Structure 1
Amino acid sequence: MNKHMIYLAAGNSRRFGTNKLLHVYRGKHLYRYGLDMLEELCYKRSDCILYVVSQYREILEQAKKGGVQVVYSPDSYKGMSYTIEAALHAVGDIPEEDFLVFVVADQPGLTEYTVEKLLAAADFGVETASVRYGSTPGSPTLFSARLMPELLALKGDEGGRKVIRNHPCVYIEAESAEELYDIDTPEEGGML
């Protein structure tokens, strides 16, 4: 059973004002934190396929250098469902026992350890899983490939949470709240 790791690096950064993923945060571009971690993780695992989905060519060009699957998503500006749809079309037909794992690109504190715990939840009978800290759910999220039609049916800015609400979910505890912290404004990231 393969894990199709989908790195969502396509957001519009409306609250940030410019493309936040290309801003330097603590010495490197924001999107690189998750991408570097996932590249290393997938390098160690034979059951892991990494896709980087973005509307930004610079991010895709850099990701391609790492040997990952890149997915251009020009309609991402219309909402999250368009990015998910582009990713799932790139993944294509996969066995029902496979899993889809969605990781967002604006959580620089996410650790490989927590992602490994999420991947360990991928087992027969599991429909969805999500990382959380305390009672606060977050990203990344995991879905059985059997739920691909429901993910493809999302509209506008709907994301995977809509699907999770309709299925049993295994929750994986993050080591700290910082792992789930996403940067949405320059002030949050100390990037002024």
Structure 2
Amino acid sequence: MRWNLILLAAGYSRRFGDRKLLAEINGTPLYRFSLDKIRKLSEKLGDTTILVVTSYPEIEAYCRKQSVTVIKNDGTDNTGIASSIQKAVKYLETQECALEGSRKADVFFTADQPGLDENEVWMFLNQYASQNKKIGTMECKNIWRSPNVFDACYRSKLLQLSADKGGKAVMKQHAEDVFCFHTEKETQFLDIDTREDLLRISDKLFS
């Protein structure tokens, strides 16, 4: 299995009122929590590519220093999460044209889940790889969470997404092909939309 680990870090939060992904928790920018965990996952999984889709120059600069591939999604190109997903998919389609053989899976992470447990994500991806369904998600309290994984055969469907419709729109259309990894650890799915969320989640995770 070849894994493409994709961090979606191009969004701006109107409710947050500032460039959310640069806000700090315990002195660390929010996006770094997800990125650092993805890099650890990459070491465990082996055959991986890490992509970061971003509109933030600061995130781009940091990733390039770490030799992480950056795909820019800014200005009028950035029309919502669908545009970030599609830029990643198009990049992979171009780069993988000469790669044959191994099954390819695209794993999409959001950049505002500082509590994500990389060990549970690793277990999720390993279980996904050992079964036959082509889409996978982490599930907690009967709700599909993030990250989500799509076999490369679903790229054409992802390219049809529009505006703020993310991968879950494809998952709902093909629910029979979705593998669910159940977890009780709900704190890892807490995301941040407001400054109040930032303080609340910081207290929950690090106090």
- TM-score computed with the length of structure 1 as normaliser: 0.93
Q: Which residue does the alignment assign to 2:40? A: 40
Any idea what the Cα deviations from partners look like across 1:68-119, whole Å, max 9, x if unmatched?
2111112464111111111112212545821000000000000111210221
What is the match of residue 114 of structure 1? 120
In the TM superposition, residue 135 of structure 1 has moved relative to its aligned partner by: 0.9
> Residue 139 and residue 47 in structure 1: after superposition, are their counterparts in 2 closer, same or farther (change >3 A)?
same
- Using a 3 Å threshold, how does the CA distance of structure 1 residues 159 and 76 change in structure 2: closer, same or farther? farther
**Match of 2:204?**
none
Which residue does 2:86 correspond to in 1?
Answer: 85
CA contact (8 A) 1:101 1:142 kept: yes
Q: In the aligned structure 2, how far is the partner of 1:65 from the partner of 1:173?
A: 36
Give the greater-gyration-radius structure (CA). Answer: 2
Cross-structure match for 1:180? 189
* RMSD value, Cα: 1.7
Aligned partners of 1:39 and 1:66 also within 8 Å? no
- For residues 13 and 76 of structure 1, the distance between their equivalents in structure 2, rounded to whole angstroms, comes to 17
The alignment status of 1:99 with 2:102, answered yes or no, reads no
Q: 1:6 to 1:187 in 2, by over 3 A?
A: same
Deviation at 1:175, TM superposition (A): 4.6
Instruction: State the Cα distance separating 1:169 from its structure 2 match.
Output: 0.8
Moved over 6 A (4+): none
Which amino acid in structure 2 is aligned with residue 174 of structure 1? T
The answer (yes or no) to whether the contact 1:131–1:139 under 8 Å persists in 2 is yes
Q: Secondary structure at the match of 1:78?
A: coil
What code does the residue aligned with 1:115 have?
Answer: V
1:125-175 Cα offsets, whole Å, 9 max, x none, are 321110121212110000010000000010111100011112221111235
Q: Which residue of 2 aligns with 1:24?
A: 24
Distance in 2 separating the partners of 1:19 and 1:131? 27
Give 2:137's aligned residue: 130
8 Å Cα contact 2:5-2:48 kept in structure 1: yes
8 Å CA contact retained: 1:53, 1:72? yes
What's the counterpart of residue 149 of structure 1? 156
Aligned length: 191
1:163 aligned onto 2:163: no
User: 1: distance between equivalents of 2:108 and 2:9?
Assistant: 11
Q: Residues 8 and 76 (structure 1 numbering): CA distance in 2 closer, same or farther, change over 3 Å?
A: farther
Equivalence for 2:203: none
Q: Which 5+ residue runs of structure 1 have no aligned equivalent?
A: none
- List runs of 5+ in structure 2 lacking aligned partners: 201-207
Q: Distance between the aligned counterparts of 2:41 and 2:184, measured in 1?
A: 18
**Structure with a larger share of its residues in helix:** 2
Instruction: Return the letter of the residue paired with 2:139.
Output: R
- Tell me which amino acid in the other structure corresponds to 2:33: Y
Quick check: 2:141–2:184 contact (8 Å CA) kept in 1? no
